Amino acid sequence: MENVTIFFDILIALLSIWVLYKLIGFGGLIGKSLASVGYGIVIIGVSQFIETFGLIMLNTNIITVEVIHRLFLTIGFIFIAWGFKNLMEKK
């Protein structure tokens, strides 16, 4: 089961980078807003990998890993919210 988890976490991280690649490249305020959303998605994707890496490969304390994982999730969602907020402000 660990191999499946590692596979999907790597897949999630790679797909989040692909989403960022698709969102970056637009100019102006819309481009900056979409880039911010993309960065948030990458942070969330990487947080999944960090959780699995910390639990399975490093055999670290579960509380420490979960706190770090949730910290990354929170930062990712802040980036996403900030990007959408900036996008919605300019109509």
The pLDDT score that the predictor gives to residue 39 is 92
Work out the pLDDT band at 71, boundaries 50, 70, 90.
Answer: very high
Burial of 85 (0-12, 13-18, 19+ CB in 10 A): exposed
Q: How confident is residue 1, by pLDDT bands cut at 50, 70 and 90? A: low
- From CA 24, how far away is CA 39, in angstroms rounded? 9
Longest alpha-carbon distance in the chain: 49
pLDDT of residue 91: 57
pTM score, whole prediction:
0.81
Provide, rounded to the nearest whole percent, the portion of the chain with pLDDT above 90: 21
Residue 89 CA: distances (Å) to CA of 23, 32, 49, 53, 84: 19, 13, 33, 38, 9
